[in-house]
A = this chain, B = another copy of it.
Amino acid sequence: MNKVTSTTAEAVASIPDGARVMIGGFGGSGAPIELIHALIDRFRATGSPKNLTVINNNAGNGSIGIAAMIKAGMVAKMVCSFPRSSNAEAFNEKYLAGEIELELVPQGTLAERIRAAGAGIPAFYTPSSYGTELAEGKPTEEFDGKMYVRERWLKADVALIKGQKGDPMGNLTYRLAGRNFNPLMAMAADRTVAQVAELGKPGSIDPEQVITPGIFVDTVVEVPEPQQEEVLVRTGVVY
């Protein structure tokens, strides 16, 4: 089994127009910047993929990563919990101009809906958002005297994620808090592409320390010394 692809360009080559794309990371922590930028490169060269639905906790910062995708005009819709942040002009401008759609999801519900998709659970009940405008139109039910909202799984065509160590079978570890949404998105997409900082042989990751088992990963590409979104934003990099 060898899931390794040699370039980020190959890794993102088959993502079609209109795809639902999960992108791992929380802010810049664990964000697969090189995969995102490879996708932007492809769009600039070929016009595809466009009309994407992007699923991420945020909606991009500064002029790199998801923000650069939005600026480039590849994104039709964001599904996220927190699009508002200090450097979120790319999304804000398009949103206020009515040029991008937003599905706002509470953060824990977003995580659980993604996990449910990966786990074959089509719907579940959560207390979160009960009685709020984000629950409007959703079924509710009482369990043990408390009210809950029914939420559906959230699937994607592709997940772009960032690991620390990887192997050719697709086993992954993550660095520090860079784990966040990455292991969940790996489970929830038809196809998962992981960039890893270190690519080792099968067995190079202790089986007890594998965080994402290879069954959830389709493509692995090594990106040594990956860039950090937060550093790029703070130094004003424009992609």
CB of A216 closer than 8 Å to a CB of B: no
Q: Is A125 an interface residue (CB 8 A)?
A: yes
A46: B residues at CB distance < 8 A: none
A121 in complex: contacting residue of B125, B146, B179, B209, CB < 8 Å: B125
A91 within 8 A of B: no
> Once the chains bind, are A176 and B121 in contact (CB under 8 Å)?
no
The reply on A119 being an interface residue by CB < 8 A is: yes
For the complex, is A103 an interface residue (Cβ under 8 Å from B)?
no
Q: Which residues of chain B have C-beta atoms less than 8 A from A127's C-beta?
A: 120
**Chain B neighbourhood of A208, CB < 8 A:** 173-176, 179, 209
Contact digits for A202-238, partner B, Cβ 8 Å, 1 yes 0 no: 0000011100000000000000000000000000000
Q: Please count how many residues in chain A sit with their CB below 8 Å of the partner chain's CB atoms.
A: 25
**Is A126 an interface residue when CB atoms closer than 8 A count as contact?**
yes
Which residue from B119, B122, B148 sits with its C-beta under 8 Å from A112? Answer: B119
A152 interface hit (Cβ, 8 Å):
yes
Tell me, rounded to whole Å, the shortest Cβ–Cβ distance linking A126 to chain B: 6
Give A163-179 as 1s and 0s: 1 = Cβ < 8 Å from B's Cβ atoms: 00000000001111001
Map CB proximity to B onto A100-130 as digits: 1 under 8 Å, 0 otherwise. 0000000000001000100111111111000
A133 at the interface (CB under 8 A from B): no
- Whether the pair A121, B124 counts as a contact (CB closer than 8 A) is yes
Query: In the bound complex, what is the Cα–Cα distance between A116 and B144 (angstroms)?
Result: 15
In the complex the two chains form, what is the Cα distance from A124 to B143 in whole Å? 12
Which A residues lie at the B interface, using CB under 8 A?
112, 116, 119-127, 141, 143-144, 146, 148, 152, 173-176, 179, 207-209
Extra 5 A-B pairs, beta carbons < 8 Å, given A121-B125, A123-B148, A209-B209: A122-B125, A122-B144, A123-B125, A123-B143, A175-B208
21 A/B residue pairs, CB under 8 Å, sorted by A: A112-B119, A112-B121, A116-B124, A120-B126, A120-B127, A121-B124, A121-B125, A121-B126, A122-B125, A122-B146, A123-B124, A123-B125, A123-B143, A124-B125, A173-B208, A174-B208, A175-B208, A176-B207, A176-B208, A208-B209, A209-B209
